[in-house]
Amino acid sequence: MINTQFTEITGCQVPIQLAGMPGVATNELASAVSNSGGLGMISGTHMSPEFLLDVINNLKKLTSQPFGVNFLMPFLDRDSVKIAALKSRVVEFFYGDPDSSLVDIVHNEGALACWQIGSTKEALLAEKAGCDLIVAQGTESGGHVRGDIKLLSLLSEVLDRVNVPVIAAGGLGTAGDITKVLKSGAVAARIGTRFLAAKESDAHPKYVQALIDASAEDTVLTETFSLGWPHAHHRVLKSCVAEVNSFEGDIVGERDLAGEKKPVPKGSTALPTINTTGKIEAMALYAGESVGAVKTVKSAADIMNELVEGLPSALGTSTVE
């Protein structure tokens, strides 16, 4: 067990949080991370309250450990937030100004409120709104990126200005990365890209192989895949930008949503899951600068073991704050 403020308030055993990745952060992935001592996360985005309740109830069959639910502000359903707060330990928000009314909903149902931010200004607003945790996201992150500052610079700024425990996010994929941010003052590390290649992930096999073949310089911040979420920067593999730009036609593929086939338009924000068909290489292949740590497909438990075993023993003998 590695004690930090994160483990103390969440009830986890190690200071690692799974990124809430819509479409690929399955119940199996979240539960494996939670059962390994970290904070497993699922996404509640685009889920009705009834559907989310069913998902969470199924997740609870796989783990008795703490987990959280992530929401994207542009697609928020407040009734779903209430369900998440009632059933999970942490409710997290991203890509919008911190809102004290949402924090109140979370607290009223007994959960912890977390806000992922991309600037010191947003961090101060999150603290003012009453958040229990803040995620400082650097530009090295895969997927949608909120700010324009690299992680260690942002982390340093935020830690100097707020009294809320801060989780570090962006380009973290190894035990060495986690050690660095913990020693810099973060209470936990948030990891996404590394878990895309977990056996429990729902990422399409071609997507996973592209991650395995890539390194940090093969990623880029872009707005190429903005259909459905305009003007939101995101980090993807350079290869998919080249592929979609050369793709002729309006529909790159098809995905299965709750048993119904839906087209994937060219430039869609949708990433390819195992139920997606078509030109996978021309879809949004989100990846952070930690992609070089993705070397093979492993179980989430094996990834967690590798990350935790690689942390210095000194971190496990005293509280890191």
The enclosing domain of 49 has a CATH number of 3.20.20.70
Asked whether residue 321 is assigned to any structural domain, the reply reads: no
pLDDT at 316: 43
Asked whether residue 94 is assigned to any structural domain, the reply reads: yes
Burial class from Cβ neighbours inside 10 Å (0-12, 13-18, 19+) for residue 116 reads buried
Domain count, the chain: 2
Q: Are strands 133-137 and 143-144 parallel, antiparallel or unpaired?
A: unpaired
- Single pTM value for the model: 0.95
* HSE-CB for 11 with a 13 A CA cutoff: 13
Tell whether 163 and 227 lie within a shared domain. Answer: no
Tell whether 222 and 96 lie within a shared domain. Answer: no
b/e map 76-93, b = 16+ CB within 10 Å: bbeebbbbbbbbbbbbbb
Tell whether 180 and 216 lie within a shared domain. Answer: no
Tell whether 283 and 304 lie within a shared domain. Answer: no
Tell whether 158 and 23 lie within a shared domain. Answer: yes
Tell whether 115 and 223 lie within a shared domain. Answer: no
319 confidence band (pLDDT: 50, 70, 90) = very low
pLDDT at 2 over 80: yes
Eight-class DSSP state of 70: E
Tell whether 195 and 256 lie within a shared domain. Answer: no
Give the whole-angstrom CA distance, residue 110 versus residue 90.
Answer: 9
Tell whether 64 and 139 lie within a shared domain. Answer: yes
Asked whether residue 175 is assigned to any structural domain, the reply reads: yes
Give the whole-angstrom CA distance, residue 276 versus residue 280.
Answer: 8
CB 69 within 8 A of CB 20: yes
Eight-class DSSP state of 128: H
Burial class from Cβ neighbours inside 10 Å (0-12, 13-18, 19+) for residue 50 reads exposed
pLDDT at 188: 97
> To 5 degrees, how large is the angle CA 169–CA 172–CA 175?
125
Asked whether residue 45 is assigned to any structural domain, the reply reads: yes
Taking residues 64-81, report their average pLDDT.
Answer: 97
Asked whether residue 220 is assigned to any structural domain, the reply reads: yes
Tell whether 245 and 272 lie within a shared domain. Answer: yes
pLDDT at 185: 97
Q: Domain of 239? A: 205-291
pLDDT at 71 over 90: yes
Tell whether 167 and 257 lie within a shared domain. Answer: no
Tell whether 112 and 17 lie within a shared domain. Answer: yes
